[in-house]
Amino acid sequence: MTKLLDQALDLARSLPSDAQDDIARIVLQLAGNDGVPVTLSSDERTAIAISKAAAVRGEFATDDQVRAVWAKHGL
């Protein structure tokens, strides 16, 4: 283990557990060992297929529509 990685892990140990889990997921993903692929439900696969088809047709939200969603959620 490099000194820099050791320092990063020491720092991560002082963080709350949810932040530690987030860091662990990122490290695993970067190392190419992020676990078992997620299995999508039938509804999720259908939603993705619908979204991909809309993208192929060029159907995207306008800038105004995106701004309205952001405003609705306080972003």
pLDDT in tens, 18-74: 999 999 988 888 888 766 677 899 999 999 999 999 999 999 999 999 999 999 999
**pLDDT value at position 39?**
85
- 23: CB partners within 8 A, 6+ apart: 12, 15
Q: Which letter does DSSP use for residue 32 in this model?
A: T
Q: Looking at the chain, list the stretches that DSSP marks H as alpha helix, in order from N- to C-terminal side.
A: 3-13, 17-30, 42-56, 63-72
**pLDDT value at position 35?**
67
**pLDDT value at position 3?**
95
Give yes or no for a contact between 23 and 12, defined as CB atoms under 8 angstroms apart. yes
